[in-house]
Amino acid sequence: MPVRKILQYPHPLLREVCRPVDEIDDEVRIHIRNLVDTMRASPGVALAAPQIGVPRRIIAVDVTTRCPGAGLIVLVNPEIVAKGRMKTVREGCLSIPQYTADIRRAETVTVRGLNSEGKEVFIESSGLEAVALQHEVDHLDGILFIDRVESIRSLFRRKKPGP
């Protein structure tokens, strides 16, 4: 599958609330493959469908490069159903590669969604994977990490673009 271009802020699609997926058909499977291939070709650990120009509720997360053994998570219509204690984390985004900032995120989350076969799954996650899941679900609601910046003082410009 082709690697798609990752949309950059301020592209208007990044601010849209994405449509739910009614059925996991061939079109949705193509979107999933494109999302995973694009994520794996990028320096990041997660990607949401609107970042590749698809306004549907689909995300892919794979923190294995930073947390060995984690594995690929693909979720359709994901919803965070439980959150743990909040903490401050350093976060960046492939759609805003010039900056990182301190963000408040839950240390643990439980996310409900459909897997790529259309079966309902519950993912209990912690650490970087939990942060990535929250970040990508935000994308589906048109929320960017810069909307959650704790303090303008925590916003740092990167020397080189990256995740």
Work out whether strand 96-106 and strand 156-157 pair parallel, antiparallel, or are unpaired.
antiparallel
Q: Which of 27, 57, 32, 59 is nearest to 129 (CA)?
A: 59
Distance of CA 62 to the CA centre of its chain: 10
Residues 49, 76: Cα–Cα separation, whole Å: 10
Alpha helices in the chain (DSSP H): 26-41, 127-140
Active-site residue flag, 136: yes
Q: Which of 120, 124, 136, 150 is catalytic?
A: 136
102-140 residues labelled b (16+ CB within 10 A) or e (exposed): bbebbeebbbebbebeeeeeebebeebbbbbbbbbbbbb
- Distance, CA of 79 to chain centre: 12
What are the residue numbers of the active site? 136
